[in-house]
Structure 1
Amino acid sequence: MSNVDPDPDEVDCRASRFTGVLPARDVPLGGPRAMSVRRTLPARQRSMIGAWCFADHYGPHDVRDRAGMDVPPHPHTGLQTVSWLFAGEIEHRDSNGVHAMVRPGELNLMTAGAGICHSEVSTPAAAVLHGVQLWVALPDADRHTARDFAHHVPQIARADGATLRVFLGELAGSRSPVHTFTPLLGAQVDVDPYTAAALDVDPAFEHGLLLDDGDVEFGGTVLQRGDLAYQSPGCQRLEIVNRGPAPARMVLLGGPPFGEALLMWWNFVGRTHDEIAEYRDRWQAGDDRFGSVTGYTGAVPRLPAPALPNARLKPRGR
C-alpha cells in the first residue's frame, strides 16, 4: 500500500522510551469518497516495533456501491510490505513480474530491496475490504537486496484459549517458513469469548498488539478498536483478556529493537535526506531502479511523488 499523504512527514526512526497504547489516526486513501485507514505506526510517541515501521488497519468497508482500493503503481525502497486480509480480495502486480491475489488468511510479502514498484486494486469479488497493511524495515546490510515476493498460507493452531495464524516468525510452536532479514513475529490472534489467553513470547522482543475487533484488555488497559498496545522487551508471557461474548481478533507484532536509525518519507525507507531525495528524483524520472508494472488499467498510470519539504526536517524528539 502507498502512503498517499500529499504532505508526508520525514520520520527519523530511532528507539524511544514510550510504553503504552498508540491510538490510531484516520488517513484517507484517494480523497473523501474513497476508503480510509487507521494508522498507528509511525507515531510521534513510537516509530517502530522491532523492524515493523508502518501499520495501517482498515475496514470493514462495504465497497459494493462505492470506491474500493485502487492504488496505482508506486515505488518502495529498503523495506518489505506485508499484506494480511480478514475479508475481501486485492490484486497485486509488481515490477518483478508478480501477479498475485491477496486473500483472507494468506500472507503476501513483497521485498522492495533496492527498488520496486507495485499496484494494489480490490477485485469485484470483494464486497467488503478488511485487513492490515504493514511494512518491515530492512537492515543496512540487506536493504539493497534484489526484489522478491513470497506467498504463504499459515496453518491454524490453538494455544490457551486462542486461535493462531502465524504468518511470520514463531509463536506457541507454530512457525512460518517465510524469510525475513531480522527476527520477527507476525500473527493473527483470535481469543475465545470470556477468556484470558496467555502466550509465551521471546523476552528479547518488543511487541505490539493491534486490536481489530472485540472487548479486550491488555497489560491492564482496555483497548479501543484500532489501538496498538506496546510491550517492551523483557516480557516472557503476554496475557490477553477477552471480556466480551464473541471472539476477539487482533494482530500481534514483535521483534528485537531495531538497532539502526533510518528515515522514512512517503514510500521510501533510507538513511539520509539526500538518499531519499535521490529515490524521489529517480521515481519521477522513470528510472529503471523501480521498473514498471504491466497489466494495471487505472485512470492514473503511476502515482507521482509528493514534493519534498523546502528544508531538511529535524529529527522528531522522543
Structure 2
Amino acid sequence: MTKADVFISYKREDEAIVAKMVASFEAEGLVVWWDRDIEGASGWRDAIHQRLTSAACVIVVWSEASVSGAGEFVQDEAAVAKSRGSFLPVRVDKVEPPLGFGQQQALDLVGWRGNRRDPRFHDVLEAVKALVNGRPIPPPQAPRRRMRQRAIGGGAIVFTAALIGFVFNLFGAQNTLCQGPFRDVCAIVSIGGVPSVQDEAVFEQARADGCDGLRAFIESGRGGVLQFEADRLLSARRTETVTEWVEIERRLPLYEPSLRNGQSSETAARTAVATQAEQQARELCSGMSQSDMFRERATSLAIENANCRNGADGWRCSLEGAAICALESRETREVEICDGVEPSQ
C-alpha cells in the first residue's frame, strides 16, 4: 500500500470540485487518497481510518453539505485530523465551519474551477506542501495579490503616484503627505502605511460586525494595509459562552375540585372556585421558577370548563383549565469574539 501525502475528507455532493483538487495535486507530484480509491465494499471503515491516520495532510472540505447535520462523517474525520496536527480546512461554499473548528481559518476555494494558476489554489498547494514536509503553514497570499492586480490596473496614474511617493520618500516627506491630501493616492500604491478613507470606513464597519464582517472584508480583496489587521483580528479570535434570558410561555394543566361549603348562587360558586384555581396556578408557576433555569414573570389562569351543581346546601363548582406561566428561560450559546485579545491558554 502506497502511503498518501494527502487525504481528502468531503461530502459526496462536492465530488466534482474534489476531483479537480485531486487532479491538480497529482499534477504537482503529490500522492492523494480519497474514498473513490477504496477497493471493494468490505472493510471500508478500516481503510478510511488507516489512510486518515497515516496522511501528513488531511484536507477537510467545508461546504453547505459537510457543515450540516448530514456531514457528521466529515466532521468526525476533521476531529481526528485536528488532533493529529494534519488538519487543513478548505472552503468551497460561503459557509462557517462547524462549532469547534473555527480556530483555524479555512483557505478559500469558493467558485474555483480547477485552474492551477489561481492564486487561491497556490495558497492551498503551499499549505499542503508545508504539512507534508513538516513545516508551518504559510499565511495565504491570494488577497494581497488581488490588491496588487487592482493597483496595476490603474496604469499611468499608479505609476506616477509611485514615482511621486519614491521622490517624497527621498526627502522624508512621504509619511506627512500620505496623512494629508495624497492619502488616497498613497493607499492605491501601498506607500505611507495608511489606508484610503473609504477602505478605513469599510473596515471599521466590518470590525463592528464582528468575525463575519472581518471575513467578508478579507474576501472583498479591498483591504490593502488593513488586510493584515483583519487577518490579525481573525487569527486572535476566541469563543466565549454567553448567557441570555429568553421569554417563554408554559401551559400547565390544573383541576380545582368543588369547595366543601356551598354558595348562595352559581355566580358565587364560580367566583370561589376560580379564586382557588388562581392560587393553584400561582403555585404551579412558582414551582417552575425554583429552578435556576427559569425566572417567573407573570401567571394567569385559563378556564376551559366549569361544572356547577345546586345541592341541598347550595351551589358548588369544579374547574378544569391551565396555568399560563410567563417565564424567562436561561439559555447559553457560544459566540466568536474578534476584538484582538489573544485567547487565554
Q: TM-score, normalising length from structure 1?
A: 0.21
Higher Cα Rg, which structure: 2
- Which protein, 1 or 2, shows the higher relative CO under an 8 Å CA cutoff with sep ≥ 6? 1
Q: Which structure has the highest strand share of the two?
A: 1
